[in-house]
Structure 1
């Protein structure tokens, strides 16, 4: 297995993903906008690059790979049009674009990949990749990210209230994010749009009260007058297509 994978954006998700992929025998190239992770990269046989798609620099060598995973927060369509033009001239055959379930509006109902999205920059960027026929793209819409140093209890700051307390949670653990991306690569699951979140959807008040108590030993305040708008993100397509079973599934029993 000599497939080369480039990861654009080696932060909270991209860096542990890169390390995991190297352990499975892939050749890895990783980027940040600075050299802050270069020592970690070298320790794990990841070739380091400094890439900022908002400024022009030659990324030909970085894009000399089979698969490109895009895990950055930039939402500027001009920057992505420039990136796509570079991908078209490269050896990249397949792209995994990390998106978010935030593209869906709150419907107070279950949403699937067939639901309409909001008119947002992220949805627009998704479409730039989806309609490009020069390479294959799978779009993964991750729910709220948590795990390890990203504690859900910290999502509710001490001076803030829990909004929409009767609404429902959509979250996914870092381990499942990594496992799902690896499964997409190993099964050649391309040209798909997939929702990725845990099966369980506890109510916000119940879940965040539990998580805040774990960190601060105090109950958070609750805005009982908020509108309780929500969506419940379905992961059924992903589980069926990838034959995937979530590692961290029951959010009320999660100890991370």
Structure 2
């Protein structure tokens, strides 16, 4: 299976597409912006305008073996329409990029077996893919994303206070995101749900002070929360099932 369609060629999807091109795959990539069509073409991606909320037909875009979904939309109706089209396409395998935001902060280490937030549209969308038997889906719940132009030193600007300074950081670098996706496809690992998060969990205070100092910026301002809330995302399943080792596993050396 050497034909891949990537729904959403943005911060993660575009460099991911380029990495598959370098591995000899044929890659179709989508954007919702006409201005980005030429940009995708320039790096060898076959570009498509796709907005799942507009209920159009995406036949040509879905004429691939594998679909990677890397958009932030939580439009349940739009995803139901997309899934109905995947069923009628040549797509055999799907990777759906989800988020560890589905887990509540209940002061414990969270695994894939732990309870997730009810009435969450992202959870509803995950279930639409899990329950479909026309194709196989693996769901990746990425933690907080950084890398490239997305640097934590630039977050919480303008004196905005950072909550929960004694809580813990759950982050993952873009290079690890990409490598995990490649590993799942290379190992043919389907019908799974994985947390994907660095195994290093400094406090939010340590992490953001270090991030600002690394860029020569002023120290951040923290809220002093009366209620102490945190979660630590476990990637043990990812490490055990895939044998994955994180590229960026020291969050204080970013």
Q: Are residue 205 (structure 1) and residue 191 (structure 2) matched? A: no
CA drift of 1:44 comes to: 2.2
User: Which of structure 1's runs of 4+ aligned residues deviate more than 6 A?
Assistant: none
Q: Equivalents in 1 of 2:158, 2:221: separation in Å?
A: 9
Q: CA RMSD in A?
A: 1.1
Q: Secondary structure at the match of 2:149?
A: coil
Q: Secondary structure at the match of 1:211?
A: helix
Q: Is the Cα contact below 8 Å between 2:211 and 2:252 reproduced in 1? A: no
CA drift of 1:210 comes to: 1.2
After superposition, what is the alpha-carbon deviation per residue over 1:114-169, rounded to whole angstroms, capped at 9, x for unaligned?
Answer: 00110200011000001111100000000000001000112222221121010000
Partner of 1:244: 244
Structure 1 alignment gaps of length 5 or more: none
Q: Equivalents in 2 of 1:212, 1:156: separation in Å?
A: 11
CA drift of 1:12 comes to: 0.4
Q: Is the Cα contact below 8 Å between 1:110 and 1:231 reproduced in 2? A: yes
CA drift of 1:108 comes to: 0.7
Q: How does 1:20-169 map to 2 (within 5 A)?
A: 20-119=19-118, 120-169=120-169
Aligned length in residues: 253
TM-score, length of structure 1 as denominator length: 0.96
- CA distance 1:135–1:145, change in 2 (3 Å): same
Q: Is the Cα contact below 8 Å between 2:55 and 2:78 reproduced in 1? A: no
Structure 2 alignment gaps of length 5 or more: none
After superposition, what is the alpha-carbon deviation per residue over 1:59-101, rounded to whole angstroms, capped at 9, x for unaligned?
Answer: 1010000000001111011111000000000000000000000
Q: Is the Cα contact below 8 Å between 1:107 and 1:230 reproduced in 2? A: yes
Q: Secondary structure at the match of 1:198?
A: coil
Q: Equivalents in 2 of 1:118, 1:99: separation in Å?
A: 13
Q: Equivalents in 1 of 2:215, 2:158: separation in Å?
A: 11
Q: Secondary structure at the match of 1:162?
A: coil
- CA distance 1:67–1:76, change in 2 (3 Å): same
CA drift of 1:248 comes to: 0.2
Q: Give the stretch that moved more between structures: 245-254 or 133-142.
A: 245-254
Partner of 2:172: 172
CA drift of 1:224 comes to: 2.0
Q: Equivalents in 2 of 1:230, 1:36: separation in Å?
A: 41
Q: Equivalents in 2 of 1:95, 1:217: separation in Å?
A: 41
- CA distance 1:17–1:128, change in 2 (3 Å): same
Q: Equivalents in 1 of 2:225, 2:104: separation in Å?
A: 20
Q: Equivalents in 2 of 1:226, 1:157: separation in Å?
A: 23
CA drift of 1:216 comes to: 4.9
TM-score, length of structure 2 as denominator length: 0.97
